[in-house]
Structure 1
């Protein structure tokens, strides 16, 4: 009987995880199934327990359940403890639940895939929610010269900077605290989904800078539409999605899939979807 995996979310219809992991499974000839599961907003833990009782071996977790997943784990990876969020659940041999987060690894691997330099560079991260918290440790491990976190609510960004200050030069503040130019600017807010753009200075980018949006779509996000005419090279979060999925897949199956063909297939599916 094939090993069962899934992704939990609410909503979940939009998720590309089944497509991605289906391709990974075929590529690596794994005997597994992967489905999308809609969990009730107030019933995530029960949904996970029911899935395990039916033979589930592991799951991905997306919005809004990464905090719930963190809370139910028996053991956590170091990076999940740092992020205070879990996007990958694994059922251990003893039936206990192990939690990890692969979002930050996904971002860093996508930056490397596209040849975006982070070491010794000035990096700006916009936002202070769970998505940003999940990527700060892996970003700081790349040894940027300085990492600045900004947010509409300055206090959140300041607190994040304090939480990660032991890992490098991290500063936090409000959007009005942005000073100078940056080599890499990462939008970690969900503003692009609502067509909203945080107020940012026009002279934000150094020559040859990169603008990265963790969101993605068939069309460039509002943030990327703004950044392009100001001289930045543009990347969206599609590759991050594929790379974080590949890391989850490795944790479950101990085999690392080739992400390049899945990136191409996913991009094509976006371009030809309604």
Structure 2
């Protein structure tokens, strides 16, 4: 086991609750791999304490942190400097503290999603992508897809949310939820950003009968690792991309900011984190 000293670099993940987070597993895996004097810890933080905790971490010498539900918007408000991605999201999931006392923030979810697809040799430029859902995850995914040159269409059970997302992004098309199955044949990539099919959620049956043989199907859900959507796609012989890789890739920027090394996502890391999902 890698031992830490008084010189250790420390980062954390903040959420409420936080027990579900796999971030400590993957970051500490990288710390061990690179023999870095450091640690990454989970912190359960209530909403009313969040701003004080961030200031306390900065004062205590933490290098930064990840934030998860329900703190992403509050974290944005704590930042002194945010990039264009964060501005478009109105939230951040990664913070780092610099020596000048500034708090920097960004949202890495969308970039993690795109990197996961590229790992699977999926090209996105000029591809027609249908996104299921219009929540925070859909916003991150849609923005990253647009930045990579994809053409996006959004469908959501509540049409108004899809319309608002397209307005906010300044790009994209909308189709009604009841229509997406029949219109699937016109798309190159299908993305599920909803909780449909997530373990413990409602049992939604995905109908891919109208999909073209070249459709790529991906799901940001990673518990279960092979979701009902991915199972349906596999039965039809379609190319699939699971959601675990998005989790792993979105973590890379934060790790490089806090610990000074740009880590890689490989089979060893993927299987290590995947095995934890079975417990």
TM-score of the superposed pair, with normalisation by structure 2: 0.88
Q: Name the Cα RMSD after superposition.
A: 2.0
Does the CA-based 8 Å contact 2:67-2:92 persist in structure 1? Answer: yes
Q: Paired residue for 2:3? A: none
Does the CA-based 8 Å contact 1:157-1:174 persist in structure 2? Answer: no
SS, match of residue 261 in structure 2? coil
Does the CA-based 8 Å contact 2:9-2:259 persist in structure 1? Answer: no
Does the CA-based 8 Å contact 1:128-1:160 persist in structure 2? Answer: yes
Where structure 1 has 5 or more consecutive residues not aligned to the other structure, the ranges are none
Where structure 2 has 5 or more consecutive residues not aligned to the other structure, the ranges are 1-6
Tell me how far apart the structure 2 counterparts of residues 93 and 63 of structure 1 sit (CA, whole Å). Answer: 27
Match of 1:189 among 191, 194, 213: 194
Tell me how far apart the structure 2 counterparts of residues 164 and 177 of structure 1 sit (CA, whole Å). Answer: 22
Q: Paired residue for 1:172? A: 174
Q: Paired residue for 2:242? A: 236
Does the CA-based 8 Å contact 1:12-1:37 persist in structure 2? Answer: yes
Tell me how far apart the structure 1 counterparts of residues 178 and 62 of structure 2 sit (CA, whole Å). Answer: 47
Does the CA-based 8 Å contact 2:195-2:201 persist in structure 1? Answer: no
Q: Paired residue for 1:262? A: 269
Tell me how far apart the structure 2 counterparts of residues 89 and 204 of structure 1 sit (CA, whole Å). Answer: 43
> Which string of whole-angstrom CA distances, capped at 9 and with x for unpartnered residues, describes residues 105-145 of structure 1?
1011100001122222221111111111112222112222x
Check 1:138–1:34 CA distance in 2 against 1; reply closer, same or farther (3 A cut): same
Match of 1:107 among 87, 91, 113: 113
Does the CA-based 8 Å contact 1:209-1:231 persist in structure 2? Answer: no
Structure with the bigger percentage of strand? 1
